[in-house]
Structure 1
Amino acid sequence: MDARDILSKLRHDVALTADEVTWVAGALADQSLSDAQAGAFAMGVCRNGLSAQARVALTRGMCASGDVLSWDLDKPVLDKHSTGGVGDCVSLVLAPALAACGAYVPMISGRGLGHTGGTLDKLEAIPGVGVMLDEARLRAVVGQVGCAIVGATGAIAPADKRLYAVRDVTATVDSLDLITASILSKKLAAGLDGLVLDVKVGSGAFMKDVSAARDLAQALVETANAAGCPTRAVISDMSQPLVPSLGNALEVAEVMRVLRGDVQGPLVELSATLGGVLLAGAGLAADAEAGAERIKRAIADGRAAERFGAMIAALGGPVRFVEDWQRFLPEATVVREVTAQESGVVTAINGEALGLAVVGLGGGRMVESDKIDMGVGLSDVVRLGTRISKGQPLAVVHAARPAQADRAAAAVRAAITLGESAVAAPSLIVEYLG
């Protein structure tokens, strides 16, 4: 293979073969493709796309560029992936609930990206928790607890790690083909028996309209299944935050209220929906509806909380975190209500703007080296359709300094639209695929 020939074909919109794309994946991993050539490849794919066959080959090639786990367990190995949203802490509920229902869940997760929070960052809001495990420790935790939420080591899909770094600085992140291969190469490397994809759509998601979300979901499902991993997708609404809190410790607190049975709502419903799809596909439930009920029971009777607590302890966190979680989570020093300056009905919420407000508070990263303030964020964010009187709170800001709270309050007011007419609450589940 010759990189120049492959890049020339891409530039002239000539379809690449599966062998050519597989070679590129290997060359990314072993450094035989230069940074300039990797950037040209990413730009070519972004401009002209790949065939379905080539997309599968790229996914498989990047997966095979590093370690690929295999499991010898008595129950199915399952996982879920979200394309990112605000107030989305489903993984922290779903992984232990699935484990309580008899599945094994080696969930390789990520950190915050843009305006969206990262599952690993949320876990690290719990003192002592370490999410970077070697393979032996990952296997031990999964075997003992049933679930482990961890970061990808350098040995998992190194071709993807290199290509993503190139994409990040060459404005080629938003390629459907490259997004698909990036997500699935890491998931397939986990040796899964089943995967469900939560593709978000709306103001708080990367995909703002249903058509774009459907295209991504279809590409992910088709590619994953062709690569040998049984996969379905759920398109879910992100026109407002999933839970009323944004920020690492604040979202962990929402998870604990759900796991302790204190609250119901969209977090439970979406977790049950995604878990039901997985359990049905793995033969652990008669159908998705029965699977969803199993997930809800595991949450309601405390079994999911028990698994979560065991996982936190196994990752180095407090042994009695579930029983006394309020004592361990960090808190912000400035807590301030953001009040409405007029009366009306909440007709729109700009989730991306709220997410960026949290980043501005220090709850996310502006650059990769930034240290996150785990205690800051927003809580008690109003829901769509809520009628608000002047002076009532729209949200509560949790900040490190008063000036940061002032900026966040202004961002919250700008992100929440009040109107005169009542609006119907959007459906949480938009569509199923696969």
Structure 2
Amino acid sequence: MAFVPTDPPPPTWRLTAWLTTSPAQVPPDVLTILRGRLVVGVVPLIVAALIGAALASLAILRVPTSAMLAWFCADLALTLLRLTTMLVMRHTLRNSGQRLGEWLPLTDLYVLSSLLWCAQIGCGVGLCMASADSVLVPFACLVTTGLAGGLAARNPGAPRMTLVQMISVVVPFTAGAISDGQPWFLLLWALAPLYLVAVAAVNRRLHADYVALLCAERALRHQALHCGLTGLPNRTFFNQALTAIPSGRKDEEHAVALLYLDLDGFKLVNDTYGHAAGDVVLQQVAIRLRDVVMVTDVTARLGGDEFAVLLTGRRAASAERVARSIIAAVGLPYDLGQGTLASIGVSVGIAECDSGLADRHALLVRADRALYTAKQRGKGTFHHASPVRDDDGRTAWAIAECEAYKR
């Protein structure tokens, strides 16, 4: 089941990939979230750009040299590059557009532009310190500490990238201060590394806490959306998958087929061998379903001995073939231990829609009715309900049954 992407694609360049990778071992999906948080909002970016532009403008007024003018131009160009890259990334993700990301490394460009922006700010504050101007010096100190501290606190997702950004600001600042000729500024050679170490330690701690929080959130989300016994998605997940399917499309790429499964003879296993044996059977049924369906299909345990399989796109055309494979796989004997074998079957109701059913949950109701028909025909078989092909994608009875199901 393909969902709309909400995080930027991973970087493709070796340098940017290393900078945005966590030093600790984290799950791939958590790493994707960490990289996604690198794309700050428009407001923080604009505020940082205004501060940098204001300092560069003040520097030109106080010390109108070619170096200050070059800094102002570099600041303006890199700010526009950062803002443009971020807006393009947000637009691409919002519209699920993958074509642009296939040939343009947006994440790499954003990371690189952020590094260059910090480096030019560092060079700028270094020029301000070297000028020994009584107005520029305190402003340069304020911008340096604010930027370095803000990077450490706001960006716990990529500590390597944050450290490089802070170094690119603090080192030019220190070099500019020392070039002023003030003997007391020589102490910065000792203080600047200590400052970087302290701020980097704060960022690493925030990173560890952030990763732990994301992992805990990931575990809770998995627990809320999956069956604890079989590991399959639960009814809540399945309903979300149904809702996520775009409606109103009438082509093969957006076809939908739903298989509603109910085990035959499962109650007899529970009554004969106990509920523990029934749990073993349910776990093995889940394994067999995973072996039969594809990774792109959504397979869920809806509750008790009821399961469902959602096929989308071109896979919807193979609904009957999948049903036959499921019936054959589930019908094999189950080893309950100590030489005990149990046999069950499964009945399948199939409902499909290739005309953009307006309410996807009505599809589940139709598949349930088809399952009831399969049960009446002797179990261990499947029944294929007729597709809904009304002009608006509904029938009156489907609407009524869907509303009853929701209640």
TM-score (norm 2): 0.20
Calculate the TM-score normalised by the size of structure 1: 0.19
Greater per-residue helix proportion: 2
RCO greater where, 1 or 2, for CA within 8 Å and sep 6 or more? 1
